[in-house]
């Protein structure tokens, strides 16, 4: 095991708390975006079986703003500006935000979505609830303006 026992046990110990924070962040996002007029799935009051939160914006600009803000507040590569691009396997341009410690991590805060109707962002993860709250607050700053 190459002396990895501590990391394995630490991961098992921390996993429930991290998943709880990711779910709380998704519930908060659902509630906030429903309150300001966007559709979100699952609804904040529905039972959840995943950490993914769908938010439908209806146009490209808020979807791009959402993803760019998530990226800007990421702990890694926050200076990078995501741009929509064609990705193999997709018919439409995709915008992806994910400045994560582990590339491809699904528990760290990230978002992506295709640039086509209905312009839905797929937000997932959040290692801690505070990070998700801060990101959502920054996203709302522009939405309120």
Domain boundaries, given as residue ranges, for the chain? 11-144
Q: What is the pLDDT of residue 145?
A: 64
Question: What percentage of the chain reaches a pLDDT higher than 90?
Answer: 87
Q: With pLDDT > 70 as the criterion, what percentage of the chain qualifies?
A: 97
CATH of domain 11-144: 3.90.1150.60
Rounded to an integer, the average pLDDT of 42-46 is: 97
pLDDT score at 142: 78
Closest CA to 106 of 57, 53, 62: 53
Cα 27-20-63 angle, rounded to 5 deg: 40
Tell me, yes or no, if the pTM score tops 0.85. Answer: yes
Is the C-alpha dihedral spanning 104, 106, 112, 113 positive or negative? positive
């Amino acid at each position: 095991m190459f002396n990895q026992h501590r990391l394995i046990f630490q991961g098992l110990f921390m996993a429930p708390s991290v998943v709880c924070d990711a779910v709380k962040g998704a519930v908060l996002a659902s509630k906030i975006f429903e309150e300001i007029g966007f559709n979100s799935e699952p609804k904040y009051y529905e039972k959840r079986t995943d950490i993914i939160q769908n938010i439908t914006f209806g146009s490209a600009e808020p979807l791009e703003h959402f993803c760019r803000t998530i990226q800007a507040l990421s702990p890694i590569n926050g200076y990078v500006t995501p741009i929509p691009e064609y990705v193999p396997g997709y018919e439409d341009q995709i915008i992806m935000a994910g400045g994560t410690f582990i590339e491809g991590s699904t528990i760290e805060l990230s978002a992506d979505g295709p640039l086509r109707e209905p312009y839905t962002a797929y937000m997932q993860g959040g290692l801690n609830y505070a990070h998700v709250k801060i990101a959502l607050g920054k996203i709302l700053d522009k939405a309120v303006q």
